Amino acid sequence: MKIAVCPGSFDPLTNGHVDIINRAAMVFDKVIVAVLHNPNKKPLFTMEEREKMIKESLENLPNVEVESFSGLLVDYARQRGACAIVRGLRAVSDFEIELMQASVNRKLAPEVETIYMMTSNDFSFLSSSVVKEVASFNGDVTCMVPKVVAKKLAEKFGK
Ligand code: PNS
pLDDT at 159 over 80: no
**pLDDT for 40 beyond 80:** yes
How far apart CA 104 and CA 88 sit, in angstroms, is 17
Other beta carbons less than 10 A from residue 97's beta carbon: 9
For residue 114, which amino acid is it?
T
Q: How far, in Å, CA of 45 to CA of 123, rounded?
A: 22
Q: Which domain holds residue 42?
A: 3-156
What is the number of alpha carbons within 13 Å of residue 150 lying toward its C-beta? 11
**Mapping DSSP to helix (H, G, I), strand (E, B) and coil, where does residue 96 land?**
helix
Nearest CA to ligand 1 atom 4: 8
The CA distance from 133 to 19, in Å, is: 21
Is the CB of 85 within 6 Å of ligand 1? no
For the chain, give percent helix, strand, coil, nearest 5. 45, 20, 35
Write out pLDDT tens, residues 103-147. 999 999 999 999 999 999 999 999 999 999 999 999 999 999 999
Cβ neighbour number for residue 126 with a 10 Å cutoff? 22
**Max CA pair span of the chain:** 47
**Mean per-residue pLDDT over the chain, rounded:** 97
Q: Is the CB of 36 within 6 Å of ligand 1? A: yes
Could you tell me which of 26, 3, 23, 17 has the C-alpha nearest to residue 113?
Answer: 3
Q: Tally the domains of the chain.
A: 1
% of the chain residues with pLDDT over 90: 96
90 is catalytic: yes
Residue 44 has pLDDT above 80, yes or no: yes
- Atom 17, ligand 1: which residue's CA is nearest? 72
Predicted confidence at residue 158, as pLDDT, reads 83
Task: Clarify whether 9 is annotated catalytic.
Answer: no
The yes-or-no answer on residue 17 being catalytic is yes
Mean pLDDT on 37-55:
96
Which CATH number does the domain housing residue 136 bear? 3.40.50.620
Strand pairing report for 64-69 and 84-89: unpaired
